[in-house]
Amino acid sequence: MHVNDFPFGELLKKTWGWTYKNKILWIIALFAGSGGYFLNFIPNGDDMNSLTGGEGSVATALENTKAIGSDAPFILFAILAILALVAVFYLIGLAARAAIISGVGEINSGKKYRFWKLVGGGFKKVPRILLMGIIMGLPNILFLLLMVFGGWLGAWYGITLLSVSGLAFLLYNIYITILRHYSYCEAILKEKTSWDAITSGVKIVNKNFWVVVVTALIQIGLSMGIGIGTFIALLIMAVPFVVLGAIMALGLGALGMLIPAILGGLTFVVLIMALKGGINFFFNGFLTNVYWKIEK
């Protein structure tokens, strides 16, 4: 379908209606991704300082090797515990994503969904979409090996290999980010195997490339707008708590400031969680609606 003829506005309005009417699913969506993944590899000042000398330099780290070695069992346990926690939340996120897509499918077909049935069905789909992630991630191993090899070679040909493989890595992962949801829909809504879902998703994306690119740009634009709006709204909402804290501080001192701070913090946490759940549901619903329009 041509970009100029694609009903983006209609699908956004339709998805907003679903989002507003199905707030219970925001709870599941809170744990699901919204369709995009962003990584930040920009080092901060302390990172650079540790590499270039000065405080926290490599020399200082080497001097503390014995101390670190004595704490090795604890450090290893902490690392393993963190990795296990990350893995658990990652799997929960996959299950939630599958549950939301299934829920959107039932809403679209006019069926009455059951909350816990969606959750259980989401976890049943985890092995399939986990395998999809592994398959789609395999080419990154090759790209990373080529980048490392190019850096090791040095000279102009090594730098060329490093640059080309680095660019290929970036472009591939942008493509996979766009592809992921459409392949998930093939696996979850059409019960396809991991490999078939990926290949079908590739065909859908390639055939409707500019539609999915514009869809991704709309998602990015809306995310930025929502982020700015949320920041401004939170600043405005903070004013009453700050004023209340100042007034109570006159009579109760530091304790008077603590009470509004706790109330304000709890209020903000609840609002942010609700907003995240709603946004995740909306974007998953929007991408799924786009999928239904272009997969035919």
Nearest CA-CA partner of 144 in 173, 112, 104:
173
**pLDDT interval class at 34 (50, 70, 90):** low
The predicted structure's pLDDT at residue 80 = 87
Provide the token pair at 38: 């962003």
Assigned token pair, 161: 């290999």
- Rounded to 5°, angle at Cα 260 from 257 and 264: 135
Residue 170 has pLDDT above 50, yes or no: yes
What is the Cβ-side half-sphere exposure of residue 283, based on CA atoms within 13 angstroms? 25
Query: SS3 for 56?
Result: coil
The pLDDT score that the predictor gives to residue 64 is 53
pTM: 0.80
DSSP code, position 109:
T
CA–CA separation, 185 and 202 (whole Å): 12
Query: What tokens does 133 get?
Result: 């992630």
Mean pLDDT in residue range 219-226? 91
Q: Is the pLDDT of residue 227 over 70?
A: yes
Question: For residue 281, what pLDDT is reported?
Answer: 95
Predicted pLDDT at 220: 92
Provide, rounded to the nearest whole percent, the portion of the chain with pLDDT above 90: 54
pLDDT at position 217: 94
At 73 the pLDDT is 76
High-pLDDT (> 70) share of the chain, %: 85
Cα–Cα distance between 5 and 86 in angstroms, integer? 42
Supply the mean pLDDT for the chain.
Answer: 84
Structure tokens at 25: 């699913």
pLDDT attached to residue 154: 77
Tens digit of pLDDT for each residue in 54-85? 445 444 544 555 555 556 777 888 888 898 99
